[in-house]
Amino acid sequence: MSVRSITSVPVRRERSPFAVVAAVTLLTGLGAGLGGMLLALLLHGIQHLAYGYSVTHVISAESFLQGVSGAAPERRLVVLAICGLVAGLGWWALYRFGRPLVSIREAVKSDDPQMPVLSTTIHALLQIVTVALGSPLGREVAPREVGSALAGWLSRRAGLSVAQSRIMVACGAGAGLAAVYNVPLGGAVFVLEVLLGTFGWPALVPAIVTSSVAALVAQLGLGNEHQYLVPSMALSASLVAWSVVCGPILGAAAWGFAELMKRSRAAAPKNWRLPVLSLLNFAMIGVLAMHFPQLLGNGKGPAGLAFDGGLTLSLAAMLLVLKVVITASSLRAGAEGGLLTPGLANGALLAIVLGGLWSMVWPGASLGAFALVGATAFLAASMQMPITAVVLMFEFTRMSQDFLIPVLFAVGGALLGFRACAKWLPALQSSFGWNWSGAGKAR
């Protein structure tokens, strides 16, 4: 009988010593912070080169929206066509020649919490490059994937137990989110609420440590700045009443958005049709961007305009429709990316419309205040993460604590509206033959 050769990978223990777990926790935070920082710097560098603004400064006071608005319309079209080629050929080659991808959720639930490092890294880089070139999808998944892949590799090398490895993979994702958006508390809460579903001490401590370390490391290259600059706003009775009334409406819209995105992603091709559809899709976005530069990127620009009160009702409504269409079409064409910032932006735009109509009957609140509350509620419902959404929005904007009351009213109503749609609308499928379930299971 042959004897197995001893590998260099340590045998997994039932429970690892504290010093080993502490070392993996610290290294995960450091690695995710460095990875998030480098991905963010790469994003800014490509944006500046592609659209020709602030080319001598990777981090500058000029925003992406200002840069693309200042670029010639023809340049926007050419850059988006290049984006289509990069997305189509890049993801086709990855699916054709790379190892099968493992999502963060799959890794967290697996008995072997590992993600293929090379394929995951390429997948993350493709997301960053395409978002930098103008893709309407989010950039937050890329640093989360890099952080999780690193955490899985470190956990295996250190011989952590399966349960401990799952926690570290989830913490790597939260640390990546914390690094790229400077949201240490939001990253930790995301791990606990969304990925692990527990606030127990074995998960709580490493989640807080990894996200805090990652955010601190990323600040070395990105600075200690929050994502959105919002003007001072006052709480009003009109805003509170609006949050109660419109919360369920925002939740119903969030359900429709989530279902549309799920179906679009499930129907995306992985064969030769991917490059063709991708090129056509991003060329179409380029044509639209010649007239609406606000459409380019993950939605941070429109969201910032909404929070600042810089949008009219008609422009907000137009951007909302177009953003939803191009986000769905990009997923359908095979591009990948997150939905956190797109969802936040769509919620802010919808809230501008609803708030503007509300103000005709009961004035007293600014459009920016409606946008802040509506964006939080839409994000909470569309991604089913109410606590994380509230924490993220407060860290994103540094909004006044007074806004916690309308925010919580709106979030609660949005969750009720979302779940009502999820419960009752599928029943209409059997009654009327409508298809609400989507083309397949989301990846």
Q: Can you tell me the mean pLDDT for 389-396?
A: 97
- Could you say which of 222, 249, 269 is where a domain stops? 222
The predicted structure's pLDDT at residue 440: 37
- Residue 438 above 50 pLDDT? no
Per the structure, the complete domain to which residue 317 belongs is given by: 237-432
Compute and round to an integer the Cα radius of gyration of the chain: 22
Q: What are phi and psi of 39, to 5 degrees?
A: -65, -40
In this structure, the answer to whether residues 257 and 292 fall within a common structural domain is yes
In this structure, the answer to whether residues 218 and 242 fall within a common structural domain is no
In this structure, the answer to whether residues 118 and 150 fall within a common structural domain is yes
- Residue 148 above 80 pLDDT? yes
Q: Could you report the per-residue pLDDT of 226-243, keeping only the tens digit for each?
A: 899 898 898 999 999 999
Q: Could you report the per-residue pLDDT of 404-428, keeping only the tens digit for each?
A: 999 999 999 999 999 999 988 877 6
Look up residue 89 and give its two tokens.
């050929």
- Residue 151 above 70 pLDDT? yes
Residue 406 lies in a domain: yes
Of the pLDDT bands very low, low, confident and very high (cuts 50, 70, 90), residue 287 is very high
State the Cα–Cα distance between residues 139 and 35, nearest whole angstrom. 13
- Residue 268 above 80 pLDDT? yes
Q: Give me the CATH number covering residue 392.
A: 1.10.3080.10
Number of domains in the chain: 2
The predicted structure's pLDDT at residue 6: 33
Residue 362 lies in a domain: yes
Q: Could you report the per-residue pLDDT of 326-337, keeping only the tens digit for each?
A: 999 999 999 999
Contacts of 8 (CB under 8 A, 6+ apart): none
In this structure, the answer to whether residues 217 and 276 fall within a common structural domain is no
- Residue 135 above 90 pLDDT? yes
Q: Are 325 and 331 in contact (CB under 8 A)?
A: no
In this structure, the answer to whether residues 306 and 244 fall within a common structural domain is yes
- Could you say which of 167, 191, 222 is where a domain stops? 222
Number of Cβ within 10 Å of residue 314's Cβ equals: 10
In this structure, the answer to whether residues 193 and 268 fall within a common structural domain is no
The predicted structure's pLDDT at residue 430: 61
The predicted structure's pLDDT at residue 418: 97
Q: Can you tell me the mean pLDDT for 375-394?
A: 98
Residue 230 lies in a domain: no
Q: Could you report the per-residue pLDDT of 39-51, keeping only the tens digit for each?
A: 999 999 999 999 9
Q: Could you report the per-residue pLDDT of 293-348, keeping only the tens digit for each?
A: 999 999 999 999 999 989 999 999 999 999 999 999 999 999 999 999 999 999 99
In this structure, the answer to whether residues 58 and 198 fall within a common structural domain is yes
Q: What are phi and psi of 319, to 5 degrees?
A: -65, -35
Residue 202 lies in a domain: yes
In this structure, the answer to whether residues 215 and 128 fall within a common structural domain is yes
The predicted structure's pLDDT at residue 232: 87
Q: Can you tell me the mean pLDDT for 345-364?
A: 97
Q: Could you report the per-residue pLDDT of 184-226, keeping only the tens digit for each?
A: 999 999 999 999 999 999 999 999 999 999 999 999 999 998 8
In this structure, the answer to whether residues 200 and 246 fall within a common structural domain is no
The predicted structure's pLDDT at residue 7: 38
Could you tell me how far CA 181 lies from the centroid of its own chain? 10
What predicted TM-score, i.e. pTM, was given to this entire model?
Answer: 0.93
The predicted structure's pLDDT at residue 159: 94
In this structure, the answer to whether residues 202 and 267 fall within a common structural domain is no
Residue 180 lies in a domain: yes
Q: Can you tell me the mean pLDDT for 25-31?
A: 98
State the Cα–Cα distance between residues 52 and 91, nearest whole angstrom. 26
Number of Cβ within 10 Å of residue 364's Cβ equals: 14
Burial class (CB in 10 A: 0-12, 13-18, 19+), 236: middle
Q: What are phi and psi of 71, to 5 degrees?
A: -75, 155
Q: Are 96 and 269 in contact (CB under 8 A)?
A: no
Residue 26 lies in a domain: yes
Q: Could you report the per-residue pLDDT of 54-101, keeping only the tens digit for each?
A: 888 777 788 999 999 999 999 999 999 999 999 999 999 999 999 999
- Residue 137 above 80 pLDDT? yes
pLDDT, averaged across the chain:
93
In this structure, the answer to whether residues 214 and 292 fall within a common structural domain is no
Of the pLDDT bands very low, low, confident and very high (cuts 50, 70, 90), residue 433 is low
- Residue 139 above 50 pLDDT? yes
Residue 216 lies in a domain: yes
Q: Are 159 and 198 in contact (CB under 8 A)?
A: no
In this structure, the answer to whether residues 247 and 201 fall within a common structural domain is no
Residue 10 lies in a domain: no
The predicted structure's pLDDT at residue 56: 80
Of the pLDDT bands very low, low, confident and very high (cuts 50, 70, 90), residue 13 is low
- Could you say which of 187, 222, 257 is where a domain stops? 222
Angle between helices 162-181 and 386-397 (to 10 degrees): 30
The predicted structure's pLDDT at residue 1: 36
Buried b (16+ CB within 10 A) or exposed e, 341-363: bbbbbbbbbbbbbbbbebbeeee
